[in-house]
């Protein structure tokens, strides 16, 4: 090696030796900053977790006294209890729920939000804490003889859906020829069918089966089983690995001890709670 290269090489080696120990220090500093900025720290300091949600029967609804009840209300309350904090619910229109999360109106969404690739580009999802499907309940006279999605996939057929929800997307994808009428609340979409102004209400399970039982003279299930399967997760803002880790582990633990299943079965497989709400 030419002698003139030795000083340059020596200097380069010295720089590498000096800087190398700094890399783990920098990485540790970044990790510490991420932990300090986590929504978990905000929740602990506040003493309360703010949960964004929207009303879906039986996920979340108002009882006869106006209090929130439902599967996700139970989930959020148990989560807060396990964290040693209070829970504050932030009801919001469904089509604005993700923008409100990104705007820091609340800490996370526990609101029947199905995990989709499109949504996952904007928010992070926890592991699924519930599984649902998309189904429809139809008007007996308007949909008489209908037995398949093809029967509903016609321009003269009107489908009522909740604006911005996964069932609305599924209806548009699977029955693109049908006329889609969108509403801000499930109750309004259902009423459109009960009034004979729409052929069917497309929504998440188990609502179609419940409504068919409640209104047997007007409604029926033309298709026996859900035609789309879904999974629901907590949604939180990106860039928060500590919060994602905590919520994932909480879901795993509550799955393992059977608590999530017990609460899900109560709200989705029985009608024991029906007397608490206005029919």
pLDDT tens, residue by residue, 59-94: 999 999 999 999 999 999 999 999 999 999 999 998
- Domain layout of the chain by residue ranges: 39-131+230-276, 133-229
Confidence of residue 30 (pLDDT cuts 50, 70, 90): very low
**213 pLDDT more than 80:** yes
Q: Can you read off the two tokens belonging to residue 202?
A: 């497309």
The predicted-structure confidence for 215-268, as pLDDT tens digits, reads as follows: 999 999 999 889 998 899 999 999 999 999 999 999 999 999 999 999 999 999
Give yes or no for a cis peptide into 33 (omega within 30° of 0): no
Going by CATH, does the domain composed of 133-229 fall within 3.40.190.10? yes
Nearest to 164 by CA among 223, 220, 116: 116
**Residue partners of 86: CB distance under 8 A and separation at least 6:** 47, 48, 49, 80
Local confidence band at 13 (pLDDT 50, 70, 90 cut-offs): low
Question: Does the structure show a pLDDT above 50 at 8?
Answer: yes
> CATH class for domain 39-131+230-276?
alpha beta
Residue 126 Cα distances to 65, 107, 158, 215, 264, angstroms: 32, 13, 35, 36, 17
Percent over 70 (pLDDT), the chain: 87
Share of the chain above pLDDT 90, in %: 77
Rg (the chain; Cα; Å): 25
């Amino acid at each position: 090696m030419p002698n003139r290269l030795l000083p340059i090489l020596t200097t380069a080696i010295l720089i590498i030796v000096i800087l190398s120990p700094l890399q783990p220090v920098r990485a540790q500093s970044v990790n510490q900053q991420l932990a300090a900025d986590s929504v978990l720290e905000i929740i602990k300091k506040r003493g309360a977790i703010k949960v964004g949600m929207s009303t879906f029967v039986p996920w979340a609804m108002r009882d006869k006294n106006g209090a929130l009840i439902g599967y996700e209300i139970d989930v959020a309350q148990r989560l807060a209890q396990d964290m040693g904090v209070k829970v504050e619910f932030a009801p919001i229109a469904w089509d604005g729920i993700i923008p409100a999360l990104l705007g820091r109106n609340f800490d996370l969404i526990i609101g029947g939000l199905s995990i989709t690739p499109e949504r996952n580009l904007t928010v992070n999802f926890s592991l699924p804490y519930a599984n649902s499907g998309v189904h429809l309940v139809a008007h007996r006279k308007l949909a008489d003889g209908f037995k398949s999605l093809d029967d509903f996939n016609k321009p003269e057929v009107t489908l009522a859906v909740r604006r911005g929800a996964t069932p609305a997307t599924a209806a548009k994808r699977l029955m693109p020829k049908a006329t889609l009428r969108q509403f801000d609340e499930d109750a309004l979409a259902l009423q459109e069918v009960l009034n004979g102004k729409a052929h069917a209400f497309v929504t998440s399970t188990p609502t179609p089966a419940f409504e068919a039982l409640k209104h047997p003279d007007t409604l029926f299930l033309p298709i026996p089983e859900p035609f789309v399967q879904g999974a629901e997760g907590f949604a939180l803002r990106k860039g928060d690995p500590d919060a994602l880790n905590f919520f994932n582990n909480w879901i795993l633990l509550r799955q393992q001890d059977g608590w999530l299943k017990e609460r899900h079965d109560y709200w989705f497989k029985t009608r024991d709670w029906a007397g608490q709400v206005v029919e």
